[in-house]
Structure 1
Amino acid sequence: MSVNTIIFDWAGTTVDYGCMAPVMAFKNAFLEKGIELTFDEIRGPMGRLKRDHIAILLELPSVQEQWLAAFGQSTQESDIDAIYERFEALLFENLAENSKLKPETAEVVSQLQAKGIKIGSTTGYTSEMMEVVTAVAKDAGYAPDFYVTPDAVGNMGRPYPYMIYQNMKHFKNMAVSEVVKVGDTVSDILEGKNAGVFTIAVIEGSSEVGLSLEEYNALPTADKDHLIQKVTHRFYEAGADLCILNLTELLDYFVHGKELAKSTDELAPANA
């Protein structure tokens, strides 16, 4: 496989360790309606177009039950719009602060670009949100060659493959074998597999792990190993071709010449 293009996700992959910004905005937007969500529930659809994410959360049985008790009727399209409006406002309040680069991002991308690798990206954020995120990232030393938002492809974001195809069109890729997708959520994996490209899942700092850098580093080694195994299993179960701990491992494959091949490792036990 002759790879010349890597397409990264943003929050949880290259910026916002733990993907904290959208999680807290979702939680607080629903709390304003009196609806309690667990962090696991919130993170389930992570990576999807944010309005779609809210619609999925509203379909959860626990949310339907709380909504019916609070409002005496089922949710409507107008409820999705109202929660999304508050989500967006809450997200923008802290988006810049929560868009800091993950520790490895700038150095890894710099080395990849030095090897002639083109850097694309996709996201669940809107174009307006990305104006904030890209500005913060650029100031910190990370500027991908191209990025695509769901509103640039008719709001057909993940798990649809069209943001990846838009990147490929921009870079004039001749085949999907030239392209690798890197992300931190199941939605990222589905996007990559639906596009037919080799798909890599990053574990540390991911939404699936769901911990800030400080929280992750504070874990006892045994707990950290258990969490890594659990998330690795989930990613491979979702269809990832390869799991890496962090972005630094990409250099093994794209700078130091290690062969890129689908993992032959057996899935970790689901209850490990």
Structure 2
Amino acid sequence: MTQFEHLKAVVFDWAGTVVDHGCMAPAIVFQEVFARRNVTVTVAQAREPMGMAKREHILAVSRNPEVADLWQQAHGRACTENDIDEMYADFIPLQMEVLKDHSTLIEGAVEKASECRARGLKLGSTTGYTRSLMEVVCPRAAEQGFAPDSVLCADDTPAGRPAPWLLFRTAELLDVYPMEAIVKVDDTPVGIEAGRNAGCWTVGISTTGNGVGLSRSDLNRLSSNDLHERRTEAANRLFDAGAHTVLESVADLVPYLGQVEASLAQGKSPKQMGH
């Protein structure tokens, strides 16, 4: 198998990219923590900030104008920082429980990770989950055959996505540089923005991710027209965030890595290349 010479690492997101088809686990819990305070949050509202660190995600949902109005009606005042802290405190144990049933690997993740390693690439990973939450996910993923060389979480750096710090720290842990020798794979716009901010190549994942937001079984029940519409909308959001390319699934990744290798061999950089 031909080894990559210029490309050195791939950094994967977790939920919606390599585990939890449709990124179901966080959406369920974000809705629940608001429901416990008599505020009904739609699935779309719960998913909108996906990829951020989870406290920042809750804060972003609370600032959605419609959600803010519902909070005002329910509580007679605006949502406060103390409310955010209380919801976040509820979120962590709830998410831990839900994750036990939402850590199944997405089809193709193990095979493509193995192929990347066989071609000389190091494998990193970053996530909006905290370290305590990943202590639930990582062992389950490893049992299924997916164990990247590094796992960095939202609480490992001063700021999560779209800041580039998780990717810079990953590069340090993997001993990989320059940043243009790294491909970031993510199903959320803020994850793509983080990749661009770090100077990496960025690959958006549409069908299995948060943008489409459906489990595999629900996805299979869609009509071809509905599926095309959802995929296109998800892909457009990822392209708008700066993705160099968008794929339906991580299972489609390796051929694009070959294109990146060819671009690097020609002296091209992520900053020079649009989608």
Q: Give the TM-score band, short-chain normalised.
A: over 0.9
Structure 2 match to 1:20: 24
**SS in structure 1 of the partner of residue 227 of structure 2:** helix
Structure 2 match to 1:221: 224
Structure 2 match to 1:82: 86
* Contact 2:203-2:243 within 8 A present in 1 as well: yes
- What is the CA distance between 1:257 and its match in structure 2? 8.8
Query: Residues of 1 paired with 2:259 and 2:68: CA distance?
Result: 51
Query: Residues of 2 paired with 1:33 and 1:140: CA distance?
Result: 37
CA RMSD of aligned residues (A): 1.8
* Contact 1:201-1:235 within 8 A present in 2 as well: yes
Query: Residues of 1 paired with 2:68 and 2:274: CA distance?
Result: 41
Structure 2 match to 1:188: 191
* Contact 2:33-2:90 within 8 A present in 1 as well: yes
Match of 2:137 among 126, 130, 133: 133
* Contact 2:11-2:124 within 8 A present in 1 as well: yes
Query: Residues of 2 paired with 1:2 and 1:177: CA distance?
Result: 9
1:248 and 2:241 equivalent?
Answer: no
- C-alpha distance after superposition, 1:7-26 (max 9, x if no partner): 00000000000000000000
State percent identity of aligned pairs.
34
- C-alpha distance after superposition, 1:105-132 (max 9, x if no partner): 1111111111111000100000011111
Change (3 A) 1:74 1:264: closer
- What is the CA distance between 1:96 and its match in structure 2? 1.7
Query: Residues of 1 paired with 2:162 and 2:36: CA distance?
Result: 29
Structure 1 match to 2:118: 114
Change (3 A) 1:257 1:197: closer
**SS in structure 2 of the partner of residue 51 of structure 1:** helix
- What is the CA distance between 1:220 and its match in structure 2? 1.6
Moved over 3 A (4+): 253-265
Match of 1:212 among 212, 215, 238: 215
1:94 and 2:78 equivalent?
Answer: no
- What is the CA distance between 1:254 and its match in structure 2? 3.6
* Contact 2:6-2:261 within 8 A present in 1 as well: no
TM-score of the superposed pair, with normalisation by structure 2: 0.91
- What is the CA distance between 1:258 and its match in structure 2? 7.9
* Contact 2:7-2:260 within 8 A present in 1 as well: no
Change (3 A) 1:264 1:221: farther
TM-score of the superposed pair, with normalisation by structure 1: 0.92
Gaps in structure 1 of 5+ consecutive residues: 266-272
- What is the CA distance between 1:209 and its match in structure 2? 0.6
Q: Residue type matched to 2:151 in 1?
A: Y
- What is the CA distance between 1:255 and its match in structure 2? 6.3
Moved more, 85-94 or 34-43: 85-94
1:170 and 2:180 equivalent?
Answer: no
**SS in structure 2 of the partner of residue 17 of structure 1:** coil
